[in-house]
Amino acid sequence: MKISVIGCGYLGAVHAVAMASLGHNVVGIDSNLAKISSLSSGQPTILEPGFEGLLREGLDSGRLAFSADPEAAGGARVHFIGVGTPQKPDSHAADLAFLDDAVDSLLPRLHEGDVVVGKSTVPVGTAAALEPRIRRAGACLVWNPEFLREGSAVRDTLEPDRLVYGLSCEEADARAGRDALDECYAALIAAGVPRLTMDFATAELVKVAANSFLATKISFINAMSQACDATGADVALLARALGFDERIGHRFLRAGIGFGGGCLPKDIRALRARAEELDLHEAFEFLAEVERINDGQRARTVEVLEGLTGGLEGRRVAVLGATFKPDTDDIRSSPALKMASALVERGARVTIADPAASAEAVAAEVEGAAFFADVEAAVAGAEAVLLCTEWEQYVRLDPARIGELVSERVVVDGRNALDPDAWKRAGWTYRGVGKR
């Protein structure tokens, strides 16, 4: 199958290398020349396990190429659109400008019988509004949302929990779209991945519903962590006991300083904005509460630190982690950096450690904090240590060794990831989130 992937950001780049690994001929297209030149020379543009290997394998096999020229899409039959749909600067709604540009540049290159596959996360109703333009060009449209997580994006693409096809209500287009995707994903379907067909609107909603549900689950356990703090209960034990109920499950019940990243925060806001347009304000108001609880976790953690240090003004606080979660270099909407900024605002002298984030990117987000890739340099002289991102190397830190570097042994575990007993044994005052 000849495939083009338009947009070589996180989603598009991973999709392109994954499709090439399945044996398809793929061209990835992006207007960012630096990105194209990097990918074309086998240099990964994202930190993602398995990505570099598949990128090089694809390039070496001759099945994978990248181009900044929209003309390159002309040779393909199936065109995946994986451009970003960020939050608009002046509202909570999703900005569809990149999607519109991608469609505009694709339309003149489409041939009769081509299939356009939307993968971007979009407000419900987007595909139906786009379809007439695609049909006029002789092609058909499918909406095929992507559920990949950073840090396991390659595996999530090649071994997804499910494939979702949003199909046209025109029967011939629906059949053509479904058949083309079945061919693209033949290996996955043969391996038993469930494949669900539905209308455009349902497919668009599946994606935002999944992310909103996950965000709600996190805020739920974070609200419970407050009840635990108030009563001396332990949220980790509570979550473990809850999770054995198969209807609830263990995952996404880790209490802490909350969720961040390029998707969850943006997607719940975009769903609320779309719900307003659909006159469903009341039904989706709870998502505002989900966000309020999320922000509140940071504020509460600042208070805990304030209490433990007897006031943050002039205090040296080492923040461990800058990325929004471990195993990525992504700092978008990172709870760790929100914490760091809040501490700087309270007058603390803040150092930030992270093994993957770039110093420049962190400096652009947090003013007045010093960044160190090396954790020991960041904690040297600290009066309090705050774990914000549960990188494996931070979880495994030796509390006795770190204790020799700091001036006060106070640790706040913003991810409930450290072993409280080990830290206490080494003479630390330990505080987790919702833990006795």
End-to-end CA distance of the chain: 57
3-state secondary structure 233-262: CCHHHHHHHHHCCCCCCCCCCCCCCCCCCC
**Residue among 143 and 428 whose Cβ is closer to ligand UDX:** 143
Burial-class residue 346 by CB neighbours within 10 Å (0-12, 13-18, 19+).
middle
Residue 335 Cβ, how far from ligand UDX at the closest point, in Å? 6
The verdict on whether 169 is a catalytic residue reads: no
User: Listing from the earlier edge strand, what are the strands of the sheet with 195-199?
Assistant: 64-67, 25-29, 2-6, 78-81, 115-118, 140-143, 163-167, 195-199
- Report the distance separating Cα 150 and Cα 153, nearest Å: 5
Closest CA to 99 of 125, 67, 75: 125
Backbone angles phi, psi at 273, to 5 degrees: -65, -40
CB of 212 to ligand UDX, least distance (A): 11
Query: What is the three-class DSSP state of 143?
Result: strand
Residue 74 CA to residue 110 CA, distance in Å, equals: 6
Q: Name the amino acid, one letter, at 399.
A: P
Please report how close the Cβ of residue 45 comes to ligand UDX at its closest, in angstroms. Answer: 16
Structure tokens at 137: 């060009």
Q: Which residue's CB is nearer to ligand UDX, number 24 or number 325?
A: 325
Closer residue to ligand UDX (CB): 263 or 317: 263
140 SS3 class: strand
| CA–CA gap between residue 324 and residue 357 (Å, rounded) | 10
What b/e sequence results for 365-375 when a residue is b if at least 16 CB atoms lie within 10 Å of its CB, and e otherwise? bbeebbbbeeb
The one catalytic residue in 8, 184, 228, 263 is 263
Q: Rule CB under 6 A: which residues touch ligand UDX? A: 147-150, 211, 214, 218, 252-254, 256, 258-261, 263-264, 324-325, 335
Q: Which positions make up the binding site for NAD(+)?
A: 30, 35, 85, 121, 150, 266, 332
Smallest distance from the beta carbon of 253 to ligand UDX, in angstroms?
6
By beta-carbon proximity to ligand UDX, the closer residue of 168 and 297 is 297
Element (H, E) at 328: none
**Contacts for 22 with CB less than 8 Å, ≥ 6 apart:** 158, 184, 185, 186, 187, 188
Q: Distance of CA 64 to CAs 27, 57, 108, 250, 365, Å?
A: 6, 9, 23, 39, 35
| Residue 228 or 253 with smaller CB distance to ligand UDX | 253
Four-point Cα dihedral 260, 263, 268, 273, nearest 10: 130
| Pairwise CA distance, residues 118 & 109, whole Å | 16
Helices 286-309, 335-345: axis angle to 10 degrees equals 50
The catalytic site residues sit at 263
